[in-house]
A and B are shown apart, each in its own frame.
Chain A
Amino acid sequence: MTAVLQQEQIEVPADPYDFYELSLEEQWGDGVPLIPPTDDYVQALIASTPYAADHVVAILPPKQLVATVELIAINAAMAGVEPDALPLVIAALEALSAPEWNALGLTTTTSSVFPMLIVDGPARDRFHIDYKASCMGGAAGRGSMTIGRAVALCLRNIGGQRAGDTTRSVFGQPARFGFCIGEWEERSPWPSLATRAGFSTDQDVVTVHGGKGTFPLADINNDDATDLLFLIAKSLAYPLSNLYLGGGENGEIVVAINPIWADRFKVPFPDVEDLQVFLQANAWQPLSSWPEANQEVFRKKGRVGKDDRMYLVERPDQIIPMVCGGLGSLHAIALPSFGESHIQSVAAQYAPR
């Protein structure tokens, strides 16, 4: 069925280069060429959802403006999203609109934080969402490159997020172009993020993490899995982490583990909860790592633990392991948190077939 479109229809150059120049002039884009959102493309995107074009998905900050399915589809078209993948973009926007994700804070902060999308389910292969080698940049799967970009364009064109104006991010980060990866569920010894959040394995689920960047970890010296995990935990607790700015009870840090290391870690930690307990228990630094002025602030905030230990987070569930990446081993990537944001997962809803 053809959707009734209500957004203003405008005449633009058919020539791709001229359309690109117009998009820069109108500030519709992210500096990279866009696909023209023609009615045929927008209609195809909307047809993949169970919703009417005027269905309101979210109110997007910073400007608190209404994101309808139609507007989201227009921006997804510009990003080059495969028509049947629009439900993943919608799920991501629903997730980041949950109050506990704190979109008002995260879209206006001086921090580099941005929605980082992690997909579980059959959609990973169907839409070419990268979860193997170079999944965080370079693998060039269409789903990875366009779905995250569509979310970024929605925040820009619907929410009104503009660098230096409505968003005060001091540095930004590459993920502000869009960040979307999959979890290598089949190589994970632990339940996926989606199943840990209560979804089934046949659902396509988008988990949205407010991530400050990609924080690389590497090792070639440890044969003992527990020793290596100990070092990962210590590395997460770097003194200037955002998670040391607040009270320690909010925010999560995602730890992306390569499949080879995951195979090693499952031996001492077959249960993910036990792994999280171990990581949390060792993710601390001695109070003496900070100058006296910082120590005073920590004491005032009640952050100092037993034996003057400064734990990165209060609870084990705030450190979130997941498996992805290539088979070259040697590396893990942490996705540090803004702190005042809780990760959210939403299942994609497709049009009935």
Chain B
Amino acid sequence: MSENRILVRKPTAAPSTEPAAPTFTVDGGINGKRVGFRTDSAWRSWSLIADIWNGYLQRDGATTDSYETHGMIGDTGATDREQIDKLAETVDFAIVGLGTCGSCTSFTIADSVAFEDHEKPVIAVVTEEFATHGHNVANHLGHGDLKVLVLPYPLEALPKEELLQIADDFYPKALELLGVTQ
């Protein structure tokens, strides 16, 4: 080593080398299936879209079970995580949203992981601005292959008619990503 060089320790942590957890697909029709919906009290746009999809799924023969989250921590957060886990136990597949901010994307992904941990097909729904972040969080949580449906951004403050159109446009994509065949 030359005298104008010194030795130091690298300050960054080594990235995880764990393989991604398995993902699951429906591989069949939705008639007779029980579908879980996770909505978030923060996002009115997503509640509207989820409501429309709920109706379409029921029309197509599925039963639906929805849970709206309200918090990340405290009693509210603990209840939310407990209810998501229960939902993951009882449904055949699930649609989880919405990631349209930093922390809510992180929790959308974390709650989606709860369904994959129960070996259930699931899609995490995020908006375009937070798509990369959603994939990153999934990767960091060891579920790098988690299926992520990307909706346009921003959704909040869009007129209701536009949100209804988005719901219609993206419903087939949601089913395709889940592996629904009919």
Contact = CB atoms under 8 A, between A and B. Distances in A.
Interface residues of B, number: 41
Nearest to B12: A157
A85 interface: no
B164 interface: no
A216 B102 CA distance: 27
A250 interface: yes
Contacts of A102: 72-73, 77, 103
B55 to A, nearest CB: 21
Nearest to A72: B11
B48 to A, nearest CB: 14
Interface in A89-107: 99-100, 102, 104-106
A10 B103 contact: no
B13 A157 contact: yes
Interface stretch (B24-32, B104-112, B173-181): B104-112
Contact of B101 (A15, A42, A110, A157): A110
B16 interface: yes
Contact of B107 (A36, A105, A247): A105
**Number of chain A interface residues as a range:** 35 or more
Contact of B73 (A36, A74, A250): A250
A37 B3 contact: no
A340 B130 CA distance: 20
Interface in A23-40: 28, 36-39
Contacts of A108: 102-103, 105-106, 133, 137
Contact of A12 (B5, B13, B15, B72): B5
Nearest to A70: B9
B102 A37 contact: no
A311 B2 CA distance: 65
Contacts of B133: 108, 166, 168
Contacts of B8: 9-10, 12, 36-38, 74
Interface stretch (A58-66, A176-184, A263-271, A319-327): A58-66
A67 B14 CA distance: 10
A320 B161 CA distance: 45
Nearest to A23: B11
Nearest to A168: B102
Task: Pick from A11, A67, A104, A341 the residue with the most CB of B within 10 Å.
Answer: A104
Chain A interface secondary structure, helix, strand, loop or mixed?
loop
Nearest to A61: B140
A246 B70 contact: yes
A110 B72 CA distance: 15
B90 interface: no
B21 interface: no
A74 B13 CA distance: 11
A7 interface: yes
A245 interface: yes
Interface in A150-175: 153, 157-160, 165-169
B136 A62 contact: yes
Given A108-B106, A108-B133, A110-B102, A28 B11 contact: yes
Contacts of A160: 13, 140
Contacts of B70: 246-247, 301
A100 B141 CA distance: 18
A345 interface: no
A78 B11 contact: yes
Contacts of A10: 7-10
A286 interface: no
A62 B9 CA distance: 22
Nearest to A60: B13
A341 B76 CA distance: 12
B4 interface: yes
A99 B72 CA distance: 10
A71 B13 contact: yes
A11 B7 contact: yes
Given A14-B6, A61-B140, A246-B70, A28 B101 contact: no
27 contacts: A9-B7, A10-B10, A12-B5, A13-B4, A15-B4, A28-B12, A37-B11, A62-B106, A63-B13, A64-B141, A65-B16, A66-B13, A100-B73, A108-B133, A111-B102, A157-B12, A166-B133, A166-B136, A167-B102, A168-B105, A245-B42, A247-B71, A249-B71, A250-B71, A340-B77, A340-B103, A341-B73
Interface of B: 1, 3-16, 41-42, 44, 70-77, 101-103, 105-107, 110, 130, 132-133, 136-137, 140-142
Interface of A: 5, 7-15, 28, 36-39, 42, 60-67, 70-71, 74-75, 78, 99-100, 102, 104-106, 108-111, 153, 157-160, 165-169, 245-247, 249-250, 297, 301, 340-342
Q: Which 4 A-B pairs have the closest CB atoms?
A: A168-B102, A105-B103, A65-B13, A109-B103
